[in-house]
Amino acid sequence: MRGAGEGRSRRVRYPLAASPFAAMALLHTRGLLATPRLAAAATRASSWWSHVEMGPPDPILGVTEAFKRDTNSKKMNLGVGAYRDDSGKPYVLNCVRKAEAMIASKKMDKEYLPIGGLADFTRASAELALGENSEVLKSGRYVTVQGISGTGSLRIGASFLQRFFKSSRDVYLPKPSWGNHTPIFRDAGLQLQAYRYYDPKTCSLDFSGAMDDISKIPEKSIILLHACAHNPTGVDPRQEQWKEMAALVKKRNLLVYFDMAYQGFASGDINRDAWAVRYFIDQGINILISQSYAKNMGLYGERAGAFTMICSNAEEAKRVESQLKILIRPMYSNPPLNGARIASIILNTPDIRKEWLVEVKGMADRIISMRTQLVSNLKKEGSSHNWQHITDQIGMFCFTGLKPEQVEKLIKEFSIYMTKDGRISVAGVTSGNVGYLAHAIHQVTK
């Protein structure tokens, strides 16, 4: 007798592949993938990441790449948000070199920092933002933790709001705002809204529009404000306007988050640039603050920053600090050491701090001078347009008012690179190329 199953067609069983790639290899050995094209298609279909789409290019990076390919000897890159000296070169502050020399001479270790960062740095950062005579500092009703420059500090705050701010998930940004604000808050789980801020017709602050929109923001929502040198427009409220905004924000019971990336770099005066932050606190508004030392100390790659929360009392500050540490621990465990040491030495060593204040004013003054020279050269070219907004705006960036088609002409005909919205980094303008820039702008706007 034949055993059960004899006479039936026998099925060959193959072992299960441990992965899609092992499966492909197995199919190849059995001759079941006939052509390389089919094999490639099958590999894509079986990949873990076949659904991942190509992301859009960064607009600033695109400008830089196009600039690098250009062979014109007169080419200008006005897209990068980093300071350059009057020769167009990266600039390391002398006070930074001194701080680095001090660190090297002490042969300091490379141990981990605490989760909240370097204590001397966070204390000095809070004092820089709030003022040495601040009531908040004296009462201890604040907490400051070290962040990974401005971006990381903003994200710490955003993550805290997502976890503990139960009143609203809405964050209101000025329109426009720094491009990274949107993904920072969105990726932290918050919802993005906007309020009017910039008037493209006048290249200035749309104060009435801003006030009207803020007056309609639901109570207990979050509003983000640029402390000084608004990025990307360079348009800041006047002190009288800040006062009106503070009164309205207080009336609407909004939670204020200040982004302060340019203290000292905007006007050359650290106290003037922190005026709005300190005024809001004086009005009884407990704010959040993000700080960066990229621009005002030139510590771009060192990633030195701080995040501060003003609380109702010292006991509340302790509770908030404990939760901030719990948030930070799984993010990056503890912050980088070197940049915080450099900034701490600069802020806490009287003679080096004094030198820093001179140097940061020198950077700010050069930017202001380039604005003035650009307008002067435009007039010499015979331009009939009103370019006053260039000198009215402040900080690294300037919204020129140039239209996309005019920007395209500047790139193609003059090798002057900038983002399509007409924003330029004034740091890329020097006494050697400002005349060429003015000539080119006049040619595309006349």
Catalytically annotated residues: 178, 259, 295
Residue 300 CA to residue 342 CA, distance in Å, equals: 12
Q: Is 363 exposed, middle or buried (0-12, 13-18, 19+ CB in 10 A)?
A: buried
Residue 138 CA to residue 97 CA, distance in Å, equals: 32
- Determine how many CB atoms are found less than 10 A away from the CB of residue 171: 26
Q: Residue 342 is encoded by which pair of tokens?
A: 């450099």
Instruction: Respond yes or no on whether the N-terminal peptide bond of residue 232 is cis (omega within 30° of 0).
Output: yes
Give 160-166 contacts, CB < 8 A, sequence gap 24+: 160/309, 160/320, 160/323, 160/324, 160/327, 161/188, 161/190, 161/222, 161/255, 161/257, 161/288, 162/188, 162/189, 162/190, 163/323, 163/327, 164/323, 165/222, 165/255
Instruction: Respond yes or no on whether the N-terminal peptide bond of residue 20 is cis (omega within 30° of 0).
Output: no
Supply angle C-alpha 148, 153, 159, rounded to 5.
120
| Residue 147 dihedral angles phi and psi, to the nearest 5° | -125, 170
Residue 37 CA to residue 23 CA, distance in Å, equals: 17
Amino acid at 327: L
CA 194, distance to chain mean position in Å, is 18
Terminal-residue alpha carbon distance, the chain = 103
**In the beta sheet, which residues pair with residue 198?**
205
Find out whether 306 and 285 touch, Cβ atoms under 8 Å.
no
Residue 378 CA to residue 170 CA, distance in Å, equals: 43
CA atoms within 13 A on the CB side of 381: 23
Residue 402 CA to residue 374 CA, distance in Å, equals: 14
Helix/strand/coil for 41: helix
